Copies of this chain bind each other. A is one copy, B any other.
Amino acid sequence: MKLTVYLAGEIHSDWREEIKKKSAALDLPIDFVGPMEIHERSDNIGDDILGEQSTAIAKDHAASSFNNLRTSVLMHKADLVIALFGEQYKQWNTAMDASAALASGKPVILIRPEKLHHPLKELSRKASATVETCDQAIKALTYILE
């Protein structure tokens, strides 16, 4: 049995690399997918595809279309979503992706520092499971496959 896992969350740190490496080290039969991790590529994708947009708003609008398209296709392929929240950034896309997954019956593991317990309490209660570190998420993936 092979699993596909969508990694939702911020793209400014290397947490996805950490998860992928540790999963590979354990030989877990998992394919990881996720959002575009190169920040400028993600912000400029509308211009990259449609040509330079005339305003910042038009640019954002165009970029958001292709980012949503990518998320939608890849999330449909996933058996499970891991959503990581850090202490910086608004991370509304992370909340949006985790909630969309839950609403369509897809299991979600939430990773967040204990510090964020309070503001994430409702999302944490809806998630399948909540952990604090990537290592713990890997342990949860391992448990599913034991």
| A26 at the B interface (CB under 8 A) | no
Contact residue among B69, B100, B140 (Cβ-Cβ distance under 8 Å from A144): B69
The reply to whether A69 and B146 contact each other, CB–CB distance below 8 Å, is no
A124 vs chain B, min Cβ distance (A): 7
Residues of B within 8 A of A70 (CB): 143-144
A54-68 residues at the B interface, CB under 8 angstroms: 54-58, 60-61, 63-68
Residue of B nearest to A85 (CB): B92
Residue of B nearest to A77 (CB): B1
The reply to whether A45 and B143 contact each other, CB–CB distance below 8 Å, is yes
Residues of B within 8 A of A132 (CB): 50
A64 vs chain B, min Cβ distance (A): 4
Contact residue among B65, B93, B102, B125 (Cβ-Cβ distance under 8 Å from A123): B93
Residues of B within 8 A of A76 (CB): 79, 105, 107
Q: A68-B128, A96-B122 are in contact. List 16 more A-B contacts (CB 8 A).
A: A36-B143, A36-B146, A49-B140, A57-B117, A60-B118, A61-B125, A64-B125, A65-B128, A66-B140, A68-B126, A70-B144, A76-B105, A95-B99, A96-B99, A100-B100, A100-B102
